[in-house]
Structure 1
Amino acid sequence: MDVLTPSEDRTNYEDYYNAVGLEEFEPCKKTHIREFSNAFLPVFYSITCILSVVANLTLLIIFIKYKTLRKVFPVNIVISDIVFTLTLPFWAVYASSEWIFGYDSCKAITLVYMVSLYSSNLFVASLGLQRFLDNVMYNIKMFRSPKRNTIMCILVWLLSALAASVHAHFVETHEFDKQNTCTYHFGDKAAWKIYVRFQMNFLGFVIPFLVLLFCSIRLQCFAREGSTFQRHMPAKLETGFTIVFFLLWCPYSIVIFLHALQDLHVFYACTINIHFDVAIQVTECIAFLHVIVNPLLYVFLNKKIRRRLKGTCRTTREYLLEESNSSSVTSSQNGTFELRSVQRFQARDRNNSWAERPGNLIPEAT
């Protein structure tokens, strides 16, 4: 399910699967792409959904349980990724057959899906910006406002909702080839199609990545000025998120850009069109892994989270075994102490008996 055209991976609608190859002047056949999508995407979405729910709910439980680890932006990233994950079952069903959820659900699910996608990437960038402000710009009073993070969160959600509303406006249900589809319908507003693609590119990747890159470079420079752990840890976190974000989203953004050029008729050959369709499915799947990678990366790079996670994951059996071992050690120590006391008492009793024997005037040695 392409982010920009949710049905492009499986439906047989004319703008995508029957694109005209000008060198042949006949429809560009993509039957094998549809067959691959119908078989692979439902499985991929289902596995991604399960792993994402486990990873994000685990991290959310840790945030709820330990207040000291509860940070504003990581919590919002987890919420965004969970909301995004909850839309995957709908796309899995759609990819395997057709859209069966109705007209209103088509718009609503697309809106929720795009809001969570935009907000997740923007919150990752906001988290990097927070580290930069807290470590490099801490001397400037205006950046130390207690309401700063709350205001940033509100702005991210509003911006994401505004950007997603454009997608929801153009998404409609249609019947094509005797199947219901949930697709974009731009009509005579072809310019909006280009706008949506570039919006996805800039707001979903370019802007967050530039923020992460800038903050990462500045934090690295800040870390070199000192050798303390407090200086190096934020730089390590920021660099890790920047690299992973680039690897996940850059390939997909490049393919979206190429699709935009295709919409502008820079590319029009059928063979190129097919290659783009395959590429957008592969790179989309890579990008969707962010719902699994984000929580795992945050846990991996955060020592405090790992320590709490180990304590949370300790089973009852391990706890009872530990208590049993502790009790055994205590009992053993108590038993040893009692045995030594008895032996000392017996020795003293023997000495007393020897001293009290007739004719023995030697007192007990003390």
Structure 2
Amino acid sequence: MNLTESWKTMVNETSSVNDGSYTYEDYGDEQLILLCDEVEGLEEVTAGCFLVIFLLSVTGNGLLLVALCRYEDLRRVTNLFILNLLTSDLLFTLTLPFWAVYHLSHWMFGDLACKLLTGAYFTGLYSSMMLLTSMTVYRCVIVVASRWTAVPRRRLRYAWATCTASWVVSLAASLSDVIYSQVQEEENGTRIFTCEVSPGTMDEELGYYLQVSLLFVLPLVIIILCYSAILRTVLVTATRRRHRTVLVVFCIVVAFFVCWAPYNLIVFVMSVYTPVDCGVKQRLHVVYVVCRIVAYAHCFLNPALYMLSHSFRRHLWSLLCCLMGEERGG
């Protein structure tokens, strides 16, 4: 699912295009719409990338989830956060095959599936950002206010409370996406259906993009402030083990924001800028598609980053040996 399906639909519209040129259709008093040729092969590439990301993410996150539940103590705060992050990534990933089919054909799963999958998509996205922020704040408190580490029960209560709050807020934030998502029927030579997030009025659209921006920019600001405080402390006082834990969390956070920053930037540009030339519109759409694929790739990058932890590497190897042994025994 993407935030600008309606923008993409205008790029793909070809009913009034002659020989690759572009034109404007007259819609009376409504705004003139620039109609352009579709970029050839882009939908197939997008669908293929979605399926590859799905396979890699389900494999990596699934194995780590099993290893975490089987070998690690889930009463440890960091493990609890990682458990929720893995669940969030899997929730997001499980929607990708449906969007892949959508890109190859049209929306064939009905209105209810459109709303449910849109809700799962945005809940997974928002919860990842909030859980990463909560984990960073926790790590900051542990490193900077070291006296707090003397009360493990309080730390565990904090982790449960923040994880629960992250899921509740993410579900609440995704409600607007669920409400605005709908299946629309279009007649472009053939009858097709689209699943789009389409805010109604201009104020609703502004609020929609503001929400998306705040749920990305605000966590980023909090994380930058936290790691500034962590770096001032950890380089002087932390043990080697704490260094490693902070490094793993830091790499996970950086990977998430590096993957998602270009996507959020291009979505913002596309929401405020209307191209008047087909070449510009098509190039902008290609950039958008590339940024979206990079953003989604964070789902299978996380398992690789967890491998920075020696214990996770050991647990994953034990799990793989166990699975291979069961297969040989069968």
Question: Under a length normalisation based on structure 2, what TM-score does the superposition of the two structures give?
Answer: 0.83
Q: Cα–Cα, structure 1 residues 7 and 297, in superposed 2: closer, same or farther, change >3 Å?
A: farther
Unaligned runs of 5+ in 1: 320-366
Equivalent in the alignment of 1:183: 196
- The RMSD of aligned alpha carbons is 2.8
**Does structure 2 retain, via aligned residues, the 8 Å contact 1:99–1:181?**
yes
Q: How does 1:170-249 map to 2 (within 5 A)?
A: 170-176=180-186, 177=188, 178-187=191-200, 189-203=201-215, 205-226=216-237, 228-249=239-260
Equivalent in the alignment of 1:306: 313
**Does structure 1 retain, via aligned residues, the 8 Å contact 2:136–2:249?**
yes
Deviations along 1:160-209, whole A, 9 cap, x unmatched?
Answer: 1111111111111111122011113334x122222222322220x21232
Q: How does 1:284-303 map to 2 (within 5 A)?
A: 284-299=292-307, 301-303=308-310
Count residues in correspondence: 305
Structure 2 residue identity aligned to 1:95? H
CA shift at 1:134, angstroms?
1.9
Partner of residue 102 from structure 2, selected from 88, 94, 107: 94
Distance (Å, rounded) in 1 between the aligned partners of 2:316 and 2:137? 26
CA shift at 1:233, angstroms?
2.1
Structure 2 residue identity aligned to 1:182? C
CA shift at 1:17, angstroms?
4.7
Equivalent in the alignment of 2:38: 32
Equivalent in the alignment of 1:41: 46
**Does structure 2 retain, via aligned residues, the 8 Å contact 1:209–1:242?**
no
Partner of residue 137 from structure 2, selected from 125, 129, 136: 129
CA shift at 1:64, angstroms?
1.2
**Does structure 1 retain, via aligned residues, the 8 Å contact 2:36–2:278?**
no
Distance (Å, rounded) in 1 between the aligned partners of 2:284 and 2:266? 7
Task: Look at both structures and tell me which one has the larger radius of gyration over its CA atoms.
Answer: 1
User: Structure 1 stretch 241-250 or stretch 231-240: which is displaced more?
Assistant: 231-240
Partner of residue 83 from structure 1, selected from 85, 91, 112: 91
* DSSP 3-state at the match of 1:68: coil
Unaligned runs of 5+ in 2: 17-21, 26-32
* DSSP 3-state at the match of 1:139: helix
Distance (Å, rounded) in 1 between the aligned partners of 2:71 and 2:115? 37
**Does structure 2 retain, via aligned residues, the 8 Å contact 1:174–1:181?**
yes
Q: Cα–Cα, structure 1 residues 281 and 246, in superposed 2: closer, same or farther, change >3 Å?
A: same
Is structure 2 residue 281 aligned with structure 1 residue 282?
Answer: no
* DSSP 3-state at the match of 2:199: coil
Structure 2 residue identity aligned to 1:123? L
Distance (Å, rounded) in 1 between the aligned partners of 2:56 and 2:323? 24
Is structure 2 residue 158 aligned with structure 1 residue 159?
Answer: no
Structure 2 residue identity aligned to 1:50? L
Deviations along 1:214-263, whole A, 9 cap, x unmatched?
Answer: 2222222112213621442233224322432232011111111112222x
Equivalent in the alignment of 2:28: none
Q: Cα–Cα, structure 1 residues 269 and 137, in superposed 2: closer, same or farther, change >3 Å?
A: farther
Q: Cα–Cα, structure 1 residues 281 and 15, in superposed 2: closer, same or farther, change >3 Å?
A: closer
Distance (Å, rounded) in 2 between the aligned partners of 1:44 and 1:202? 28
Structure 2 residue identity aligned to 1:153? C
Q: Cα–Cα, structure 1 residues 111 and 317, in superposed 2: closer, same or farther, change >3 Å?
A: closer
Distance (Å, rounded) in 1 between the aligned partners of 2:321 and 2:236? 40
